[in-house]
Amino acid sequence: MTTVIVIASALVFFGLLMASIALHELGHLLPAKLFGVKATQYFVGFGRTLWSGRWGETEFGVKLLPFGGYVRLIGMYPPARDAGPDAVETAGPVTRLASMAREAEYENITPADHGRLFYEKPTWQKIIVMAGGPAMNFLLAFLIFLGVNLAFGSYQPTLTVSTVSQCVVPAARAGQTCTASDPASPASLAGVRPGDRIVSFNGVPVTSWNKLSDLIRANTSHAATVVVERSGQRVTLKTVDTITTGVPDRLDPSRTVEAGFFGVSPQQQLVHPGVVGTAQQMWTLTEQSTVALVGFPVKVWHVAADVVTGKPRNINGPISIVGASQVAGEIATLPGLTLGDRVATWFLMLGSVNLFVALLNCVPLLPLDGGHIAGAVYEGLKRAGARVLRRPDPGHVDTARMLPVAYVVGAFLLVSGLVLVVADIVSPLQLR
């Protein structure tokens, strides 16, 4: 029965991920239709077509490989400005590649389509069309996080101490119990007790757990005097030295950094943040996701190396759509969680995926949406500069010449996706 629940939960979560992809592409299609851009295809998935139907001039459908989607907008590349009929034959490989892509594009363009081609549209319309996909994912992420906060709430750390570490465990043995050789934690030496509410650290009043954590980390191995509220009384505890040790990085938990350690854990309080609180949460998650995105190539390499060498997966490492669905299935059977906790965790995962997809598509490289946005912005700036300087219109920016970059980025994303899918099948994340 447990296996059935895991599989069913994974499939439902996978369906929600595909719905997010479909909405991302809808974010492109709707403004394209609004601005009169000809859109001939709207598909979820790649490869062989499983089902399709036509609505007006646009074919809608689902393809075999459910790892993305696309909207085909006609006229993405402007006409070439060749010097003559032999220009392609005598040109370099980049120009020839751009010419081949342009020829394939213009096979489906008729004289009646002029005025409806993507490259002909004003810069602001191009930006809105290409930004529509990431904007849809940002909106989905915000609405999902807000819905979870309002319906279930979220746990946030308080300044009341839940547990006190009895020793300092080295980073290499993180999560293990104390041994006789491990030094006592500064908090235990200072006399902190569970239930104490921390009021100040080295004379600095603290109003949140994050503030306290920042002060402790920055203190490294220096003296620390902590004031707590205990049984209604303020008590100044014994001054001790915090210890510099390896702790998880705030923005990248998979990376260990040297920082001060005190040895207390907070009690968690269930709160219901509104719009402002949700926006603050999203900003923190955006910072963390941006750091993860920057380190994505290295992290994929580490995943591949761990699979080859048989090491267990890093729980903070990247996963594929398959892996995310597997984790969702596992969450459905984890002991100690209420139904509300399971559903909330599910949707928090879905919101996080949408946020990451939005940020990934903002990278200013083709074939990502950010690459097309960057091309439109560059074209707009060139034309605006020409108007200011009273020079001739420089014309459209030939984004087809960036196809080599698009192929390299596309190949990297394809290989990364395959590596993560294989890793999630061969060596899935273990939550327990």
Residue 83 pLDDT class (50, 70, 90 cuts): very low
Q: Using an 8 Å Cβ cutoff, are 70 and 49 in contact?
A: no
Lowest mean pLDDT among 178-192, 206-220, 224-238: 178-192
Q: How far apart are CA 9 and CA 154, in angstroms?
A: 22
Q: Say which amino acid occupies 343.
A: V
Exposure pattern of 169-185 as b/e (b: 16+ CB <10 Å)?
A: beeeeeeeeeeeebeeb
**Range of the structural domain that residue 193 is part of:** 154-271
Determine the pLDDT at residue 174. Answer: 62
Determine the pLDDT at residue 182. Answer: 76
257 assigned to some structural domain: yes
| CA-derived radius of gyration, the chain | 27
Residue 95: is its pLDDT beyond 90?
no
Which has the closest alpha carbon to 400: 362, 367, 369, 378?
367
Which has the closest alpha carbon to 187: 162, 159, 204, 167?
167
Determine the pLDDT at residue 198. Answer: 93
182 assigned to some structural domain: yes
Residue 360 pLDDT class (50, 70, 90 cuts): very high
247 assigned to some structural domain: yes
Residues above pLDDT 90, as percent of the chain? 37
pLDDT mean across residues, the chain? 86
Which has the closest alpha carbon to 88: 99, 73, 78, 79?
99
Determine the pLDDT at residue 314. Answer: 79
Determine the pLDDT at residue 250. Answer: 81
Identify the top-confidence range among 80-84, 144-148, 321-325: 144-148
Query: Stretch 280-292: mean pLDDT, rounded?
Result: 91
Residue 378: is its pLDDT beyond 50?
yes
**Tokens 């993507």 -> residue:** 118
48 assigned to some structural domain: no
In the chain, how many domains are there? 1
CATH code assigned at 186: 2.30.42.10
174 assigned to some structural domain: yes
86 assigned to some structural domain: no
Query: Stretch 33-57: mean pLDDT, rounded?
Result: 91
Residues taking part in catalysis: 25
Query: Stretch 3-26: mean pLDDT, rounded?
Result: 85
393 assigned to some structural domain: no
Which has the closest alpha carbon to 76: 39, 31, 44, 23?
39
Determine the pLDDT at residue 2. Answer: 66
Residue 405: is its pLDDT beyond 90?
no
Please indicate whether residue 390 or residue 27 has the higher confidence score (pLDDT): 27
Determine the pLDDT at residue 93. Answer: 64
Residue 194 pLDDT class (50, 70, 90 cuts): very high
Residue 203: is its pLDDT beyond 60?
yes
CB proximity list for 33: less than 8 A, separation 6 or greater: 39
148 assigned to some structural domain: no
Determine the pLDDT at residue 129. Answer: 96
